[in-house]
Chains A and B, each alone.
Chain A
Amino acid sequence: MSAAVIEATGLTKTFPMPAGPVTALRNVSFSVSPDEYVAVSGPSGCGKSTLLHLLGSVDTATSGTLLFDGRDISTLPDAERSRIRLTQIGFVFQRFYLLPMLTAWENVELPQGEAGVSKPERRARTAELLDYVGLSQRAQHRPSQLSGGEMQRVAIARALANSPRLLLADEPTGELDQSTGEQIAELLDRVHADGNAIVVVTHDPAIAARAKRQLKMRDGEIVAGAPA
């Protein structure tokens, strides 16, 4: 097995609340290797999304360490964590989170521009990605002119824009009908088959079943599937 893309050790996350602190994650440890497809499932409120947010460095753990390519990112300043999100991690969310004022093409091109990719390279990569997700014909459409499935495919293309080492997906089929969800699941399979590490958080057993490894969570802890 090759070196882990991401390695969590003893991750704990506690949220301060008016009624008292709430611990969403308790001492979670696991790792993801570069060619893995991991599904995290469990009941609502078990800490799946919190775990995904920590892995994606959009939130910081209360305690524990998180190594990304061997580097502890839990203590990095905001600017460096932003840089990692921009170049090393791709996100796919249930609500797509596309920029409504930009076209599909611009949404996919934006992260590349921010990462300093030259214009000719950006053009080539954007065209390649939109073709990859089957939306070449919809490149100049804005999100409001796309269906849910199309928006999610644009979101996947954007997530892959800077060739990240890890793709994180939070309920990627949550707002889609079964048939469209199936297409998105197949697209994620293809992304994985092309050599990307994926961690997907899902309620859907059918989506979880596609992953090579399944982690089950309950009450902020991994109760099954984590490596020994």
Chain B
Amino acid sequence: MRRRFALLLTTVIALGTASLAGLQPAPAPPSGDVADILVSRQLLESQDLAVGDLIELAADPDGARARAFRVVGSYEPLPDPARFTQQRLEVRLHLQDMVDMLADPTDPQSSESVSAINVALHDPEGELEFRRSVFGRVPGLSVWSTVRGDSANPFVVLEQFHLAIAIVTILASTAFLLALMVMRSDERRETAGILRLIGLRKGRVLTQVLIEGVIIAMVGAMFGIGLALVAQDGFNQFFQWRYDTALVFVRVSPKVAAQCVALAVPLGVVASVVASWTLLRREVLALLRR
């Protein structure tokens, strides 16, 4: 089976990854050795490819100077939160194959020169020093950092946005919980009155309410975490299907679960105690009065 792809090179990374667009009728097989290539799972599925198939890639959208490759396997592209809506129609080829394919036949130096190099620093803090050093050695070479500050990083901004939503949700839930607990306490007004009537101290009744509040809050928190775990799977499965990606959209980590418990239990207990205290501060007869 032979296919020919017009290659639109938009991204180049370590081993050479090319994004592809367009499928054209396959021409006659090229002469000489056929290079190996890996294709992304999405490309494999969308073009109905199989291991062993021959495909043609070209840097030119018109398919000029196409080269043949043999599909030797597929891979799952590294999930990228910044690109999850893009269809990952990609290939991985050997760097030399890519250089050859991109070389300009009219310029013999084209395969010997690069217009840009990405450099990863072991110590990102040394970025300024590195820039000065490079600029000092090769005047005229532009050096800039691709690292974004927190204010420009969409994920940091997104996290802050989530934090704001979480705070508002917690405040609203606390008010709702308090209202529920007050109603629940009021339903037990007579019970509290009877307990006080037969001689139980306020502190004793409050302790009982406190223990009850802790248990309810713990059970509630566990239920919430269980619900989040179930929802997490459903949510991930849906969006992974929707965007055809292996990206994990939601993860209930132990830290997140611990934070939930650490917030929910004290809030539940405080809501129980505040609600109960509104009852217990009343006189016994006021509690028993209809």
Name A's B-contacting residues (CB within 8 A).
53, 58-59, 78-79, 82-87, 91, 97-101, 110-111, 114-115, 158
* B194 and A99 within 8 A (CB): yes
**How far is A91 from B197 in the complex, measured between Cα atoms in Å?**
8
Type the 1/0 row for B177-198, where 1 means its CB is closer than 8 Å to any CB of A: 0000000000000110111111
Known: A53-B285, A97-B194. A78 touches B199 (CB 8 A): no
**How far is A70 from B158 in the complex, measured between Cα atoms in Å?**
72
Known: A97-B194, A99-B191, A99-B194. A78 touches B285 (CB 8 A): no
A177 to chain B, nearest CB (A): 22
Which of A82, A97, A114 sits near B288, CB closer than 8 Å?
A97
**How far is A53 from B197 in the complex, measured between Cα atoms in Å?**
10
Interchain Cβ contacts under 8 Å between A and B, 8 examples:
A79-B203, A82-B199, A83-B199, A97-B190, A97-B288, A99-B191, A111-B199, A158-B198
Q: Is B94 an interface residue (CB 8 A)?
A: no
**How far is A59 from B288 in the complex, measured between Cα atoms in Å?**
12
Chain B contact surface mostly? helix
**How far is A150 from B285 in the complex, measured between Cα atoms in Å?**
24
Residue of A nearest to B287 (CB): A58
Identify the interface centre among A97, A110, A111: most chain B CB within 10 Å of its CB.
A97
Name B's A-contacting residues (CB within 8 A).
190-191, 193-204, 283-285, 288
Identify the interface centre among A58, A82, A85, A158: most chain B CB within 10 Å of its CB.
A82
* B199 and A87 within 8 A (CB): yes
Q: Which residues of B contact A86 (CB under 8 A)?
A: 198-200
Residue of A nearest to B190 (CB): A97
Identify the interface centre among B197, B202, B285, B288: most chain A CB within 10 Å of its CB.
B197
5 tightest Cβ-Cβ pairs between the two chains A and B: A86-B199, A85-B199, A58-B284, A82-B201, A97-B194
Which of B190, B191, B200, B283 sits near A82, CB closer than 8 Å?
B200
**How far is A79 from B204 in the complex, measured between Cα atoms in Å?**
10
**How far is A87 from B288 in the complex, measured between Cα atoms in Å?**
21
Q: Which residues of B contact A97 (CB under 8 A)?
A: 190, 193-194, 197, 288
B134 to chain A, nearest CB (A): 78
B82 to chain A, nearest CB (A): 57
* B198 and A110 within 8 A (CB): yes
Q: Which residues of A contact B201 (CB under 8 A)?
A: 78-79, 82-83
* A85 and B285 within 8 A (CB): no
Residue of B nearest to A50 (CB): B285
* B197 and A85 within 8 A (CB): yes
A81 to chain B, nearest CB (A): 9
Residue of B nearest to A58 (CB): B284
Residue of B nearest to A78 (CB): B202
A10 to chain B, nearest CB (A): 22
A105 to chain B, nearest CB (A): 15
Q: Which residues of B contact A78 (CB under 8 A)?
A: 201-202
**How far is A100 from B192 in the complex, measured between Cα atoms in Å?**
12
**How far is A178 from B283 in the complex, measured between Cα atoms in Å?**
33
* B285 and A91 within 8 A (CB): no
Q: Which residues of A contact B191 (CB under 8 A)?
A: 99-101
* A85 and B203 within 8 A (CB): no
Which of A59, A82, A115, A158 sits near B285, CB closer than 8 Å?
A59
Identify the interface centre among B195, B201, B203, B283: most chain A CB within 10 Å of its CB.
B201
Q: Which residues of A contact B195 (CB under 8 A)?
A: 99
* B197 and A114 within 8 A (CB): no
**How far is A158 from B200 in the complex, measured between Cα atoms in Å?**
14
Known: A79-B203, A99-B191. A111 touches B285 (CB 8 A): no
B68 to chain A, nearest CB (A): 81
